[in-house]
């Protein structure tokens, strides 16, 4: 899979455990970001695997609904894998990476069938961008969501700002993205950021219930409903991609970003030392 501006994405190493898998459940497909050792963070190989998963799902005419979730119960998606992405040091490379992931999330948003974000754990930074690329969101009651890229002196670039504003309005979108403050699931529901909050103990059962109900509907009806919704309010805005990713790239290569990353890593080391 090619990255923007001709850069090629890293491919998973031979024999490596897959970072993304697809499970099929009677007319539904569950795409799982399966990197719990990295808090389900998105690396460049993970992007390639997500692209392959989307290819697989899009090619299957039997699938009526898709859900996207993270492995485990701690984290939905924690955003970009800063350790793996640390080698990106030029504006061209940073824009290419952002454009690749933004294009993937546009593909999520543009799937012809409904896509559910199953927010089974905390969603941080790019993880929230993954969530808002889905058509609606089911959240466990104990999770928090934060568009906290600003804490690392960068900005959302995977389409999250535009999609968030369409969901919660301009003021709340700017509040979330400029402060980086987290919101709990009930607050997210009150703001329209998630559609349903479910107790942790019943989260998986409720997800399966929703997927089963939707998968019983004719695919043609579901596709028609989503097409009408997209015609009224497009979930993908590719015409905005170049400007947003270029702005992101400038923040990524700035000294402020790398200083913030170093400070975060130092905090993590001190926290581990006190355990």
The pLDDT tens digits for 96-149 are: 999 999 999 999 999 999 999 999 999 999 999 999 999 999 999 999 999 999
Strand partners, 146: 124
Where do we find the tokens 């290569």? 253
Per-residue pLDDT at 242: 97
Residue 244: which of 103, 45, 47, 134 has the closest Cα? Answer: 103
Render pLDDT for 68-88 as a digit per residue (tens, 0 to 9): 999 999 999 999 999 999 999
- What confidence category does residue 243 fall into, taking pLDDT thresholds of 50, 70 and 90? very high
Cα dihedral 117→144→124→23 (10° resolution): -30
Helix (H) or strand (E) holding 80: none
The answer to whether the CB of 155 falls within 8 A of the CB of 177 is yes
The whole-angstrom separation of Cα 274 and Cα 269 is 9
Helix 44-58 vs helix 91-110: crossing angle, to nearest 10: 20
Please report, rounded to a whole number, the percentage of residues in the chain having pLDDT higher than 90.
Answer: 89
pLDDT of 5 > 90? The answer is no
Strand order in the sheet with 196-198: 20-25, 28-33, 65-70, 115-119, 136-140, 196-198
Residue 158: which of 83, 232, 77 has the closest Cα? Answer: 77
Tell me the average pLDDT across 259-275. 89
Please report, rounded to a whole number, the percentage of residues in the chain having pLDDT higher than 70.
Answer: 94
Per-residue pLDDT at 126: 97
Chain centroid to CA 104: how far?
10
Higher pLDDT: 266 or 242? It is 242
Render pLDDT for 26-57 as a digit per residue (tens, 0 to 9): 999 999 999 999 999 999 999 999 999 999 99
pLDDT of 1 > 70? The answer is no
Neighbours of 166 (CB within 10 A): 15
| Class of residue 23 by CB neighbours under 10 A (exposed 0-12, middle 13-18, buried 19+) | exposed
The answer to whether the CB of 128 falls within 8 A of the CB of 151 is no
- What confidence category does residue 17 fall into, taking pLDDT thresholds of 50, 70 and 90? low
Chain centroid to CA 10: how far?
19
The whole-angstrom separation of Cα 80 and Cα 38 is 10
- What confidence category does residue 249 fall into, taking pLDDT thresholds of 50, 70 and 90? very high
Joined together, the tokens standing for residue 202 give 């019943």
Per-residue pLDDT at 30: 98
pLDDT of 11 > 90? The answer is no
Distances (CA, A) of 109 to 106, 124, 130, 198, 202: 5, 19, 10, 23, 27
pLDDT of 8 > 70? The answer is no
Architecture of domain 4-202+234-273: Alpha-Beta Complex (3.90)
Per-residue pLDDT at 10: 38
Helix 160-168 vs helix 126-133: crossing angle, to nearest 10: 60
pTM listed for this prediction: 0.92
Average pLDDT over the chain, rounded to an integer:
93
The answer to whether the CB of 20 falls within 8 A of the CB of 49 is yes
Where do we find the tokens 């998986």? 204
Neighbours of 39 (CB within 10 A): 20
- What confidence category does residue 9 fall into, taking pLDDT thresholds of 50, 70 and 90? very low
Per-residue pLDDT at 6: 31
Per-residue pLDDT at 4: 31
Tell me the average pLDDT across 167-187. 98
């Amino acid at each position: 899979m090619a990255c923007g501006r001709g850069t090629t994405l890293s491919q998973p190493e031979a024999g490596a455990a897959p970072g993304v898998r697809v499970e099929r459940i009677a007319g539904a497909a569950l795409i799982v970001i399966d990197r719990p050792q990295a808090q389900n963070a998105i690396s460049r190989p993970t992007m390639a695997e997500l692209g392959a998963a989307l290819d697989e799902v899009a090619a299957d005419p039997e699938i009526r609904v898709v859900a996207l979730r993270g492995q485990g119960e701690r984290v939905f998606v924690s955003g970009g894998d800063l350790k793996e992405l640390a080698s990106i040091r030029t504006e061209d490379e940073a824009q290419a990476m952002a454009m690749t992931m933004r294009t993937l999330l546009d593909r999520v948003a543009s799937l012809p069938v409904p896509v559910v974000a199953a927010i089974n754990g905390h969603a941080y930074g790019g993880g929230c961008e993954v969530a808002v690329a889905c058509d609606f969101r089911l959240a466990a009651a104990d999770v928090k969501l934060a568009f906290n890229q600003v804490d690392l002196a960068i900005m959302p670039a995977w389409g999250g700002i535009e999609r968030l504003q369409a969901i919660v309005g301009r003021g709340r979108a700017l509040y979330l993205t400029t402060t980086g403050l987290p919101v709990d699931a009930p607050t997210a529901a009150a703001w329209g950021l998630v559609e349903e909050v479910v107790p942790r103990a019943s989260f998986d059962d409720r997800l399966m219930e929703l997927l089963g109900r939707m998968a019983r509907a004719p695919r043609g009806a579901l596709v028609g409903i989503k097409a009408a919704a997209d015609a009224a309010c497009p979930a993908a805005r590719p015409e905005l991609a170049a400007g947003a990713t270029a702005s992101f790239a400038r923040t990524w290569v700035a000294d402020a970003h790398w200083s913030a990353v170093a400070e975060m890593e130092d905090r993590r080391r001190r926290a581990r030392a006190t355990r």
